[in-house]
Structure 1
């Protein structure tokens, strides 16, 4: 395995564990988005996702439950992408949130 793929695998594991919040509602949104959409994002959106998951759970919850939107445009964009992904995929759990 070359360094690039080892670095990529390490990044993916780190993203996965940082996306697991221990809050069922957040896990239902972040993990599927990471697994199904992250690799197809452009670099700026990937960076926005990496930045987003450093936020506090209460902020993530408010944003992802559409109670409010982040002020920062890149953060607002990635939050909306996550919400839209949850709404358009077969995610019955999200519809009950």
Structure 2
């Protein structure tokens, strides 16, 4: 379980300096992260360790991650901003 301090750190780490990533990550951490199951929270933390260029192509849906865990959290983030 992540504490409020941990979530504040994640929000800070979510600021990547690339507008396209910032507008997805920062609101996701602040509005959705707490409600994720623990395994998806861990997936998000692992996603933040990825390179910005990889994150960009995945989140712009130009490529899919090969790692199924990363692919899952990317889909969760995209589904949040692109509801049916």
The alignment's TM-score, normalised by the length of structure 1, stands at 0.80
Q: Tell me the CA shift for residue 37 of structure 1.
A: 1.1
| Partner SS for 2:63 | coil
Distance, in Å, in 1 between the alignment partners of 2:82 and 2:49 is: 23
Q: Tell me the CA shift for residue 62 of structure 1.
A: 0.5
Question: 2:13 maps to which residue?
Answer: 18
The higher radius of gyration belongs to 1
Q: CA RMSD in A?
A: 1.2
Distance, in Å, in 2 between the alignment partners of 1:56 and 1:17 is: 16
Structure 1 residue 54 corresponds to structure 2 residue 27: no
The 5 A counterparts of 1:49-88 are 49-88=44-83
1:29-69: CA deviations, max 9, x gaps? 11111111111110100000000011110000010000011
- Residues 7-16 or 32-41, more deviating: 7-16
**Runs of 4+ with deviation above 3 angstroms:** none
Give structure 2 stretches of 5+ with no counterpart: none
